[in-house]
Structure 1
Amino acid sequence: MAIRLGNNCQNCENLNGDNTCKVHGVEVSSHYTCDQFEMKAELKDDRNCTTCLRYEREDCANPTHAAPGMMCASWAPNRASA
Structure 2
Amino acid sequence: MNVQLAKCCGNCENFINGQICAVQEIVVSENQVCEAYQFKAVLHRDDDCLKCVKFQTINCAHPQKASEGILCSVWYPRTAMM
TM interval, shorter chain, is: 0.3 to 0.5
Q: Which has the higher strand share?
A: 2
User: What TM-score, normalized by structure 2, do the two folds share?
Assistant: 0.47
Q: Which has the larger radius of gyration?
A: 1
